[in-house]
């Protein structure tokens, strides 16, 4: 009883307090639905150093952020404050007056043969530090340090994981069209540090990274027999995947790295198989009198998207990882090929051919929401950045004598050519290391 | 150490200084609802809204951004300057996108301030404002 009255008293008191705090005017509610999607202006100062490493690291950070299309690094000539002590708080007004919404400061030192890089990201309008981190690395790895810093900045501001500390395997092409030499190549996502993994004596196709980035699976015509191989990046050791009577092609790893899924061709048909890399047992997933190829797992490993011409022309199908419940998901005009499941799981990227036109697009795993990102001359082979935001593909512009690798944002904007040593095709983006 | 080796002896040792101290983000349920909320717009509040929208700079296509709702509540003095710290409330969408959108909304408000050309005789119509950010993407 007493308790009840006490509660009642509290309710009355709360009501009185609410009345007391009611303003005599109305609070205006304003809805804002349209923003400004321009890249965000960011000031990236040269990290302080006694050598050229500071400015070098800063320029790689700036290039990464600029290429993402989401940031606009401000020309250093416009800077007002000269950062002399990266440990002290900057004069925010000097940065907001040049419209920098964020500021990067830091220093690079070398201690006992090790490189130490520190950086801070500042919210110039909020007058606060957003992140401060330091990294130690061997001096040779300064570019990687720059990519890791760029990833940290990207993630803090966009809320999405970055993708700059990643690499791409690709097929490097050289020589005349009639006698093209192909080599497996590997490079940083910005095209730096490119080097060859094979000597070019055999034709190579469709390299794909393992989830731990240590192996690549690909198809090679070694000994005139088109077969799927596994290459250890660290040792250069190469082995055949399975010993099948026919040609194997179009390999890709399962998300857990335990299996390789690929096509096996026998008597004009191709079906999809998996091979367990430990037990070496193989499992057949499709059995049609058609060409089933380009399998790609969903990131949770429960489903597989693939390409099949069982309906007359190449279309995209999805099935459960055990081969059950095969259903077609692409129904637009033309043919669809090379499906690749997004690391976010919500989209499948594809190549579409309609008339003489090639497009790279995305659709939801149920086939709805098809969206073309880029169209034009011969284009193929999309591959996702590990954050599911950017897609690389290759294109042979009409009139050009060879293909080049391009990247495009999921929004369909910001198409960029990736610099490669020569012609290049079949890119495959590495995962991020956790 | 070759470039292709993923183990490069690179380690994140420690975070320097403090972590993000920027906009204070609370959950919707914690926010005190303003006592008298009536959508009420006039040319003054319209110009305020335009100023903030122009400065609302956020990356298009963030995962789940269409589910994020950010509300920034601010008080203004007669010169159009922000009084105290605006209060940010954010709901919906994935965590990372939520934080990024809340910070972007806060930046938009801080960049747009102080608000000029607000009619002083209508001070009561703009002295306290709630901005509801909802990307129509």
What pLDDT shows up at residue A376? 86
Which of B10, B64, B128 is best to mutate for the A interface (most A CBs within 10 A)?
B10
On the question of pLDDT at A16 being above 80, the answer is no
B128-133 β-sheet, strand order: A28-32, B128-133, B69-76, B82-91, B25-26
What are the tens digits of pLDDT across the range A46-73?
Answer: 999 999 999 999 999 999 999 999 999 9
User: Mean pLDDT across the stretch B2-28?
Assistant: 34
Nearest CA in chain A to B106: A126
Confidence of residue A335 (pLDDT cuts 50, 70, 90): very high
Report yes or no: B115 at the A interface, CB cutoff 8 Å: no
Q: Do A26 and B95 touch (CB under 8 A)?
A: no
User: Which tokens hold the place of A126?
Assistant: 């909020």
- Out of B4, B62, B97, the one facing A233 most closely (by C-beta) is B4
pLDDT in tens, B16-59: 333 323 333 333 333 333 333 344 557 778 888 999 999 998 88
Pairwise CA distance, residues A172 & A198, whole Å: 10
Q: Does A72 touch chain B (CB under 8 A)?
A: no
ipTM above 0.85, yes or no: no
The residue behind tokens 């050598």 is: A51
pLDDT at A40 exceeding the cut of 90: yes
Of A134, A159, A212, the CB nearest to B96: A159
**Confidence tier at A23 by pLDDT (50, 70, 90):** low
Find the residue in A nearest to B50 (Cα): A32
Taking the CA of residue A292 and the nearest CA in chain B, the distance in Å comes to 32
Cβ contact, residue pair B53, A40, below 8 Å: no
Question: B17 CA to chain A: closest CA distance, Å?
Answer: 6
Q: With an 8 Å Cβ cutoff, is B67 touching chain A?
A: no
Look-up: residue for tokens 């495959």?
Answer: A428
Half-sphere exposure of A34 (CA within 13 A, CB side): 4
The answer to whether residue A129 neighbours chain B at the CB level (below 8 Å) is yes
Structure confidence by residue, pLDDT tens digits, B65-94: 889 999 999 999 999 999 999 999 999 998
Instruction: Write the DSSP assignment of A247-309 as a string of letters.
Output: EEEEEEE-TTSSEEEEEEEETTEEEEEEEETTT--EEE----SSBEEEEEE-TTSSEEEEEE-
CB B87 within 8 A of CB B72: yes
* Beta carbons within 8 Å of A339's beta carbon, 6+ residues apart: A294, A296, A305, A306, A307, A316, A348, A349, A350
Q: What is the per-residue pLDDT across A379-419, written as a single tens digit (0 to 9) for each?
A: 999 999 999 999 999 998 777 788 999 999 998 989 999 99
Query: How far is Cα A313 from Cα A309, in angstroms, rounded to an integer?
Result: 5
Contact A270, A248 (CB under 8 A): no
Say how many CB pairs under 8 Å bridge A and B.
203
User: Does the beta carbon of A344 lie under 8 angstroms from any beta carbon of chain B?
Assistant: yes
List the domains of chain A with CATH numbers: 38-156 (3.40.50.10070), 165-430 (2.120.10.30)
Residue A157: phi, psi to the nearest 5? -85, -35
Is A20 at the interface with chain B, CB within 8 A? Answer: no
Whole-angstrom CA distances from A253 to A214, A218, A427 are 12, 10, 15
């Amino acid at each position: 009883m007493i308790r009840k009255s006490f509660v009642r008293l509290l309710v009355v008191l709360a009501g009185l307090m609410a009345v007391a705090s009611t303003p005599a005017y109305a609070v205006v509610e304003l809805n804002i639905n349209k923003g400004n999607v321009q890249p965000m202006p960011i000031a990236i100062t040269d990290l302080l150093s006694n050598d050229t490493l500071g400015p070098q690291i800063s320029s790689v950070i700036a290039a990464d952020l600029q290429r993402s299309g989401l940031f606009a690094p401000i020309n250093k000539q416009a800077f007002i404050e000269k950062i002399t002590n990266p440990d002290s708080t900057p004069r925010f007004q000097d940065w907001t007056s040049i419209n920098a919404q964020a500021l990067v400061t830091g220093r690079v030192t070398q201690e006992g043969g090790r490189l130490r890089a520190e950086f801070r990201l500042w919210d110039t309008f909020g007058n606060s530090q957003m992140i401060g981190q330091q990294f130690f690395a061997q001096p040779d790895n300064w570019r990687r340090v720059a990519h890791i810093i760029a990833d940290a900045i990207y993630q803090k501001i966009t809320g999405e994981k970055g993708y700059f500390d990643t690499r791409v395997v690709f097929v490097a092409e050289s020589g005349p069209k009639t006698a093209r030499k192909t080599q497996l190549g590997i490079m940083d996502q910005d095209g730096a540090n490119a080097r060859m993994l094979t000597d070019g004596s055999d034709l190579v196709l469709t390299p794909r990274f393992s989830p731990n980035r240590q192996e690549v699976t690909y198809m090679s015509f070694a000994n005139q027999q088109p077969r799927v191989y596994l290459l250890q990046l660290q040792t250069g050791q190469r082995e055949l995947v399975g010993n099948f009577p026919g040609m194997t092609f179009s390999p890709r790893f399962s998300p857990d790295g335990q299996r390789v899924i690929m096509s096996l061709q026998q008597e004009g048909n191709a079906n999809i198989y998996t091979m367990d890399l430990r037990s070496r047992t193989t499992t057949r997933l499709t059995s049609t009198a058609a060409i089933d190829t380009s399998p790609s797992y969903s990131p949770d490993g429960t489903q597989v998207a693939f390409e099949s011409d069982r309906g007359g022309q190449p279309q995209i199908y999805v099935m459960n990882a055990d081969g059950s419940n095969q259903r077609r998901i692409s129904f637009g005009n033309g043919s669809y090929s090379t499906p690749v499941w997004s690391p976010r799981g919500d989209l499948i990227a594809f190549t579409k051919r309609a008339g003489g036109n090639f497009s790279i697009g995305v659709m939801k795993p149920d086939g709805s929401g098809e969206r073309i990102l880029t169209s034009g001359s011969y284009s193929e082979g999309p591959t996702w950045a590990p954050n599911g935001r950017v897609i690389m593909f290759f294109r042979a512009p009409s009139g050009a004598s060879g293909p080049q690798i391009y990247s495009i944002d999921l929004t369909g904007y910001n198409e960029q050519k990736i610099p490669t040593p020569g012609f290049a095709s079949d890119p495959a983006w590495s995962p991020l290391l956790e | 150490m070759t470039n292709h080796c993923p183990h490069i002896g690179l380690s994140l040792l420690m975070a320097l200084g403090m972590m993000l101290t920027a906009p204070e983000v609370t959950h919707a349920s914690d926010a005190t609802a303003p006592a008298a909320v009536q959508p009420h717009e006039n040319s003054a509040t319209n110009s305020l809204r335009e100023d903030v929208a122009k400065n609302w700079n956020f990356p298009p296509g963030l995962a789940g951004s269409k589910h994020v709702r950010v509300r920034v509540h601010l008080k203004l003095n007669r010169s159009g300057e922000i009084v105290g710290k605006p209060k940010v409330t954010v709901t919906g969408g994935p965590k990372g996108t939520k934080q990024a959108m809340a910070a972007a909304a806060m930046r938009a408000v801080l960049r747009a301030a102080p608000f000029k050309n607000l009619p002083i005789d209508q001070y009561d119509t703009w002295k306290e404002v709630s901005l509801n950010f909802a990307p129509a993407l």
